[in-house]
Structure 1
Amino acid sequence: MTEEATISDQIADGKNKTNVRCQFCNSLMLKAREGSYSEQEIDVPLMVQKQDRTADNLNTEPLKHFWLVKDMLTFENIGFSHTVDGKKFLVCADCERGPVGYHELSTKHCYLALKRVVHTD
């Protein structure tokens, strides 16, 4: 199954069909139908950094598929990193693993990466 097909299985009427949970501790991050699907490509730091990185040189990967959450209070459990280039990265509030997405300071919108979470009821 392609990534695009897997993603389309998670969307109903432009929203997340199921609950969104942390892939490490299973903590509920976002309830079903609370996020809107959004596509944009942005480089997000890897969840596990390679040994050769420096403080100024984080290893990143381009992510494209996100759940847009316009109000940070919509989340069930989410944590925020320090500000980096006008963004705060999102982490699981329970196990502090991440980043699972980012918070855009200028718009106050949060983007939760589909690739970095699990979808389950």
Structure 2
Amino acid sequence: MPDCNKNFESEIKEGKNLRNVKCKYCSSLILTPSTGTFTSFEFNLPLMKQSKVNDSNPDTENVSLFWAVNEMYTFQNVGFSNTVGDNKYLTCADCEAGPIGFHDIPSKKSYVALSRVQHV
């Protein structure tokens, strides 16, 4: 079992997501079971709700637990933002809530923050 936050240990089986991963706001399906690989690293992800409007420096939070997805076509309902630096931010394609994670353009991998989705 990967060394991770106890809140998410029950969501991981053999390094993969055990359950469906869905949007916290509209319950739209994002990933089916066993399609995301658990990984842990630190990334400053913009907050889903910003306190500042039209600011070029959004509020961020340090997120460290992710589902890594190697192929963007693995997602069920995910939208990709315009390019920001070397990344594109991921949103729910149905309700546009986000960012729920990011896509790293150089590596072509996507990362969904465990804390920004629900596991059902």
What residue is the counterpart of 1:110 in the other structure? 110
What residue is the counterpart of 2:69 in the other structure? 69
Query: Are 1:28 and 2:3 an aligned pair?
Result: no
What residue is the counterpart of 1:101 in the other structure? 101
| Percent of aligned pairs sharing the same letter | 43
Q: Cα distance, 1:6 vs. partner?
A: 1.2
Query: Are 1:9 and 2:10 an aligned pair?
Result: yes
Q: Cα distance, 1:55 vs. partner?
A: 2.5
Query: Are 1:60 and 2:72 an aligned pair?
Result: no
Q: Distance between the aligned counterparts of 2:55 and 2:81, measured in 1?
A: 15
4+ long deviations beyond 6 Å: none
Q: Cα distance, 1:95 vs. partner?
A: 0.4
Q: Distance between the aligned counterparts of 1:44 and 1:90, measured in 2?
A: 10
Task: Report which stretch shifted further, 3-12 or 17-26.
Answer: 3-12
Query: Are 1:19 and 2:8 an aligned pair?
Result: no
Q: Cα distance, 1:9 vs. partner?
A: 1.0
**Residue deviations 1:78-104 (CA, integer Å, cap 9, x gap):** 000011111000000000010000000
Equivalent pairs, count: 117
Q: Distance between the aligned counterparts of 2:84 and 2:41, measured in 1?
A: 19
Please tell me the root mean square deviation across aligned C-alpha atoms, in Å.
Answer: 1.1
Q: Cα distance, 1:7 vs. partner?
A: 1.3
What residue is the counterpart of 1:49 in the other structure? 50
In the alignment, structure 1 segments of 5+ residues that lack a partner are none
Q: Distance between the aligned counterparts of 1:4 and 1:105, measured in 2?
A: 27
Task: Specify the SS of the correspondent of 1:99.
Answer: coil
TM-score (norm 1): 0.93
What residue is the counterpart of 1:40 in the other structure? 41
Residue identity opposite 1:91 in structure 2: T
Residue identity opposite 1:87 in structure 2: N
